[in-house]
Amino acid sequence: MTKKLLPLGDIASLLQCYANGRLSPTQLVEAIHIEIQSDPDHAWISTLSLESLRGYARTVETKGMAALPLYGIPFAIKDNIDLAELSTTAACPAFAYTPSHSATVVQRLINAGAIPIGKTNLDQFATGLNGTRSPYGACRNAFNPTYISGGSSSGSAVAVAKGQVCFSLGTDTAGSGRVPAAFNNLVGYKPTRGWISTHGVVPACRSLDTVSIFAFTAADVARILAISAGYDAADIYSRERKKHGFNFGAAPHFRFGFPRKQQLKFFDNHHNEQLFNKIITRMQALGGEAAEIDFEPFLEAAKLLYEGPWVAERYAAIQSFFESHGDQIIAPVREIIASAKQRSAADAFNGIYQLRHFKQHADQIWASVDCLLTPTAGTIYPIQAILQDPIRLNANLGYYTNFMNLLDYAAVAVPAGFQTNGLPFGITLAAPAHQDEPLLHLANRLQQVQSLPLGATGITLLQDTYFPATSQSGQVRIVVCGAHLSGLPLNEQLTSRRGRLVTSTTTSSDYRLYALPGNPPQRPGLVRVNKNEQGVAIEVEVWELPVRELGDFVANIPAPLGIGTIMLANGEALLGFICERYAVENTIDISQFGGWRNYLQQLNITIIKP
């Protein structure tokens, strides 16, 4: 039975198996229970009993698929996140306690029908990016057991990559939800700080911690995010989600930045360097405009995480335990946390001031790009190499990740191919806080064009994966047909209000276009004809701008033009420029040109280039 049911793939495929009766949640948890009894990769610390797993399965079977969006979907939980019934160890047996309630995020997933399988291995107290700092054993890479899995959410990544669960929860303070994803060919999502509650999570740096999600696809992550995110008054760092703005991830044209060549580091791994260059090309093929950016402010901010006062926050998180049981904490975690005692309150404030300075400079890139593209990690190391040089090599792994939470950005790690030795390579897409959904849209598109297998399962990625609808963007789309078109004199009225071109298209075929009085002609009049009149399709552009800018923009529109509803060729109805009918009497009908731009070219009127 196990061989037939495992490895698991994406959530949609499993739900389909349930829907057509080929499988039941009870059958699945029984198979998983058998599978994970043998754990040569040291992915698991503890698992629920078979009786408990069957109980969860019977509960979801009783409620039915219609009531549960994650009906019977198995997931794993990093062992610094509480699950009632099982001990939380943070990979330190002396620290262990058994919670009476599950963490907020875990309970939300269970309420939606997901089935927790157990708790996964991690770098002790979530301090590390390699997965070897655990008394439960060094977690092994899903593709090559002599290599690191990445950390600190090591077991969470490997359990998914092996197809033992469909998704897992990790935590991410310095890259712990992204580096293991890159090393195991998974999507690793680090949300905007505060989007997913950390109530019931053993803190590392409480002001920076996020709960991360590992899954096979960005579509799966979006599905899980829709259920797990939400304000939680029990978490002092929880915050409401804001509107994400322009959805660059779903747009045919977007701008992405990447570090200057001299700022890119692959630590002598030339295979990863070649794979990263290929991803730049793929992003351009998706409609991305590439731009080199100065990566120095990001690198300077990253140094503060371990060289600055934030290491003291790790000490504060377990201060009482550290003072009474410090000998139970393994090296080098103990030495890292102990260094916090050398820090003063003045150091903390000076670090905050430095971070504000670096963030001011780093944030300037968002005026010219929508997202940032970097490797997730420049290279990967064998387990033995990490054990021999644990501090320096671990620092190399955080080169592209340590700054993210300090600067309050959202990020998603995406599979990006394989080295010649068969080990995965991954990239990270990042954007300002609250732009998580555009990032996941873009990650989904990037996955679709690459068609890489799911984790280490060998299962093929399904094309055209269902992607959940996003929340409100705070944007409005508007159709322009005249001087506001790209390159024409009034286009600046859109761009100066942070307007972005969405697409070039045409109206439905029931419009006519007129040249309103002027010498030379300055404005067209777009009129929708009656059913008994002959119309044509007129070339237009669809622009998107923040809702807060719409009123000021509309206030500058002179009569007889105004804003009304325009039907596009695809049947979509959007706001756009229309003309009152009285104004086109005795004017020139220019519909035969198909659009204002063609008409101006016919008159040899110069078009301003964008």
CB 410 within 8 A of CB 432: yes
Helix, coil or strand: residue 23: coil
Count of alpha carbons within 13 Å of 62, Cβ hemisphere only?
6
From CA 102, how far away is CA 136, in angstroms rounded? 23
Determine contact, residues 192/438, Cβ cutoff 8 Å.
no
- CA separation for the pair 116, 98 (Å, rounded): 16
Tokens of 155: 């077991």
Q: In the chain, what is the straight-line distance between the N-terminal and C-terminal CA atoms, in Å?
A: 62
Q: Which residues contact 319 (CB under 8 A, 6 or more apart)?
A: none
CA distances from 117 to 44, 160, 335, 549, 609 (A): 10, 12, 33, 49, 59
Cα–Cα–Cα angle for 42, 45, 50, rounded to 5 degrees: 110
Known catalytic residues are 78, 152, 176
What pairs with residue 212 in β-bridges? 170
Distance CA 486, CA 610 (A): 6
Report which DSSP code applies to 174: S
> What's the rounded Cα separation, in Å, for the pair 201 and 102?
9
Label each residue of 178-195 as H, E or C: CHHHHHCCCEEEECCCCC
Bridge-based pairing state of the strands 288-293 and 254-259: parallel
Tokens (6 digits) for 140 = 């092994």
Cα separation of 414 and 429, whole Å?
Answer: 8
Half-sphere exposure of 250 (CA within 13 A, CB side): 17
Q: Which residues, 6 or more positions from 160, have their beta carbon under 8 angstroms from its beta carbon? A: 76, 166, 167, 168, 184, 186, 214, 215, 216, 455
Euclidean distance between CA atoms 272 and 420, whole angstroms: 10
CA distance 379 to 396: 8
